[in-house]
Amino acid sequence: MDIQTRKLRLIEAFLKIKDNSILDKMEELLRSKPMTNPKPEVDKFVGIWSKDEAEEIKKVIAEGCEQINEEDW
């Protein structure tokens, strides 16, 4: 699940809260730690290929890597 979807689900759940003590705890949590968002290394590569480039890579992999050689092994 991508981060935007996670945020929306969190907001939806937040809007349903009726208990003030839960809201107090959430406010305390949000104030207590700096909000940082370190990105995993793999996120650097998201979106660097166009759709056409990604399809070409899939094609190359399918043609070159997903072949069974009955004579091998």
Asked if residue 9 is part of any domain, the answer here is yes
Given this model, what pLDDT does residue 66 score? 65
The H or E element that residue 58 is part of is helix 51-64
The count of domains in the chain is 1
Which tokens belong to 63?
A: 């043609």
Phi, psi of 14 (to 5 degrees): -60, -40
Asked if residue 44 is part of any domain, the answer here is yes
Asked if residue 73 is part of any domain, the answer here is no
Express each pLDDT in 8-55 by its tens digit.
Answer: 998 898 889 888 888 888 888 888 866 566 666 767 777 787 888 888
Asked if residue 71 is part of any domain, the answer here is no
Asked if residue 54 is part of any domain, the answer here is yes
Which tokens belong to 47?
A: 């979106």
Instruction: Note down the domain range covering 58.
Output: 3-64
Asked if residue 69 is part of any domain, the answer here is no
